[in-house]
Amino acid sequence: MERPVTERLALFPLGTVLFPGLALPLHLFEDRYRLLVRDLLERPEPRRFGVVGIELGHEVGDGAAHRLAAIGCVAELREVTPHPDGRFDIVTTGTGRFRLKRLDRSRPYLQGEVEFLPDAPGLDPAPVARRVRWLFRRYRDRLVDAGAGVVDDIDLPDDPVRLSYLVAAAVVLDGHEKQRLLECEDAAHRLAAERDLLARENRILELLPMIPAGQFLDGSFNAN
């Protein structure tokens, strides 16, 4: 039996869930994360670290994240903009999921031994993918009708794995639901969960014709 591939990664606990294929810009001002970027820049490409959700605690301050999610996403460094005072603005892209096996607190920032997870399409994802595409378009239309403003058009990919991650990132859900989508074992299971969530959100939008305009489907993530 083939042993799972593991690697030691620097970890960035966040209150935001990153999905493979999606961009994540971050503004880094804490000393530990300035050090993380400097350490990454001393290594050859690809320069990557792990983004992992905070289940208990918060982002800022040593020891602020008391409990981390079991599944996270690898973030690959794409752009780095240094500032004179030592802060960094960076842009990363999610590249794959991992399971956090153990933590290492020997550096100012967390590190972890991680096991990389496959991104399989699963069993016959095509029918549920078609349903998710229809529900997602209906969801976007209803957001506009409900007062969310102009919603940018999103090109939905044919590939079920990419589709499952794009929809997971785009739908307005709380962090626990997004984390649950990240943790689904394959695209077919993730799409089935999204079908149910989109059906629920569409029913809510039918009952609430006017909602406060917020950050809908803008593809952005909050910076640290």
CA–CA separation, 102 and 93 (whole Å): 24
Positions in the chain short of pLDDT 70: 1-4, 56-66, 148-152, 209-224
Percent of the chain at pLDDT exceeding 70: 83
| pLDDT, position 209 | 56
* pLDDT tens digits along 27-68: 999 999 999 999 999 999 999 999 999 876 544 455 555 579
| pLDDT, position 144 | 83
Name the pTM for this structure.
0.86
The answer to whether the beta carbons of residues 19 and 169 sit under 8 Å apart is: yes
| pLDDT, position 220 | 42
The answer to whether the beta carbons of residues 175 and 19 sit under 8 Å apart is: no
**Residue 107, amino acid:** R
The answer to whether the beta carbons of residues 151 and 143 sit under 8 Å apart is: yes
Show the 3-state SS of the chain. CCCCCEEEEEEEEECCCCCCCCEEEEEECCHHHHHHHHHHHCCCCCCEEEEEEEEEECCCCCCCEEEEEEEEEEEEEEEEEECCCCCEEEEEEEEEEEEEEEEECCCCCCEEEEEECCCCCCCCCHHHHHHHHHHHHHHHHHHHHCCCCCCCCCCCCCCHHHHHHHHHHHCCCCHHHHHHHHHCCCHHHHHHHHHHHHHHHHHHHHHCCCCCCCCCCCCCCCCC
Q: What sign for the dihedral angle of Cα 76, 82, 88, 90?
A: negative
